[in-house]
Amino acid sequence: MSELVLAVNSGSSSLKFGLFAEKNGDETAVLQGEAEDIGRPGGRLWLKDAQGRALLDEGLPLSTQSHALHEAVKALRRFAPGARLAAVGHRVVHGGPHLREHQRITPRLVQTLESAVHFAPVHIPASVALIQATEKLLPEVPQFACFDTAFHRTMPEITARFALPEELSGKGVQRYGFHGLSYESVLHQLGAEVPARVVCAHLGSGASLVALRDGKSIDTSMGMTPTGGIPMSTRTGDLDPGVLLFLMRTEHMDADSLETLLNHESGLKAISDGETDMRQLHIRAENGDAKAALAINIFALAVRKYIGAYAAELGGLDLLIFTGGIGEHSQYVREGICTGLEFLGILPAASGQYSKVKIMPSEEELQIARHCRRLLQTSPSF
């Protein structure tokens, strides 16, 4: 077996991870797991082997991402004794304007990342803390940063530029786009079968869409931060800027309180009176809960509007792809989105399926491992 790559994918309250080996020119999973409900009651750590068999599944209080990483590494050492690590790869949501390529982590990169904290104050500090925790746990193993924004560097200025003064654009106030590793993984699965005009919807707790022309990002729903685009579990999505001015003037809200409102107290949670899980919203809606139904309908309509807009931008639509937890597993939501898209040739086909539609898994950890293996071969040794 080749030396292994450890891929680490940090979420707001979860930490996905996997060990990958090179086989037949691609990466293959050896072990995969997740730490769930970090910082909440009911923390859990699970681990599965390459065949999907459960090796570990236990309740475990997990106070921080760094604590979760420590427990994950301990579990990996237990079930893969003697495994040699070639690299650790991190999904980094945002690197600001100066970090737009997957690359080896150095002290200078960490400094640049810290200087960009105002671009993603929720995500960047967590990424830095996890990188530093990895350095302590695995000091001899090189680390690599895989940026979600890297995929969207192909966007033209017409879609990346906001209608703001040029000096602000020069300071990095622009559309970056996110979920790039997920979109990369979907394209890798398609291989040579990528049509010219594709819309991909990554629908999960965080959600976005991308317009792909010949496999390249030309537009995407999230903007300078992952708060923009469609409404999400706890995020507003796109919002009239006047709303923020109104809240500042009448509710005397500052940047921190707006941050909390926009990223943690809005979206499906706000509309449904507290629920963020789409599965639970579906159950409530089926039982006649009007607020749950409204939350789902607002979400589905927002996705449908973006699909229509991107089809116009692309000059038509050859393929619509759903990925992410909701996109892959909620037929109810997919039907709500696709109803009304008949004019694009998206028509009911077999049970629960639609023509011109694919449902594909998001394989972010696998994509991180691919980048790490490539960068190991091209990065100078220190």
Band of residue 120 on the pLDDT scale cut at 50, 70, 90: confident
Q: Structure pTM?
A: 0.95
Domain spans, the chain: 4-147, 192-359
In a 13 Å sphere around the CA of 320, the CA atoms on its Cβ side amount to 29
Looking at 268-277, 289-298, 373-382, which range is the least confident one? 373-382
Class of residue 345 by CB neighbours under 10 A (exposed 0-12, middle 13-18, buried 19+): middle
Both structure tokens of 212: 């792909």
pLDDT of residue 381 exceeding 60: no
The two structure tokens encoding residue 181: 């590793």
> 1 pLDDT exceeds 60?
no
Q: What pLDDT score was predicted for residue 378?
A: 80
- Is the Cβ–Cβ distance between 233 and 276 less than 8 Å? yes
pLDDT at 207 over 90: yes
Phi, psi of 80, rounded to the nearest 5 degrees:
-135, 60
Mean pLDDT, the chain, rounded, equals 95
At the top level of CATH, which class does the domain 192-359 belong to? alpha beta
Kindly tell me if the per-residue pLDDT of 382 is higher than 80.
Answer: no
Give the pLDDT confidence of 333-363 residue by residue, as tens digits.
999 999 999 999 999 998 889 999 999 999 9
Q: What is the pLDDT of residues 83-96, one digit of tens each?
A: 999 999 999 999 99
Of the candidates 148, 214, 254, 277, the residue annotated as catalytic is: 148
Q: What is the topology classification, in CATH, of domain 4-147?
A: Nucleotidyltransferase; domain 5 (3.30.420)
Find, among 4, 358, 9, 376, the residue nearest to 189 by Cα: 358
User: With 80 as the cut, is the pLDDT of residue 317 above it?
Assistant: yes
pLDDT bracket for residue 2 (50, 70, 90): low
pLDDT digit string, tens, across residues 225-247: 999 999 999 999 999 999 999 99
* Per-residue pLDDT tens digits for 61-109: 999 999 999 999 999 999 999 899 999 999 999 999 999 999 999 999 9
Which one, of 326, 121, 337, lies nearest residue 205 by Cα?
326
Chain centre to alpha carbon of residue 337: 20
How far from chain centre, in Å, is Cα 374? 22
Angle at 106 between CA 105 and CA 112, to 5 degrees: 90
- Asked whether this chain's domains 4-147 and 192-359 adopt the same fold, the reply is yes
Q: Is 219 known to be catalytic?
A: no
Closest by CA to 90, choosing from 58, 44, 137, 55, is: 137
> How many angstroms separate the Cα of 46 from the Cα of each of 57, 164, 285?
4, 46, 31
28-45 pLDDT per residue, tens: 999 999 999 998 888 999
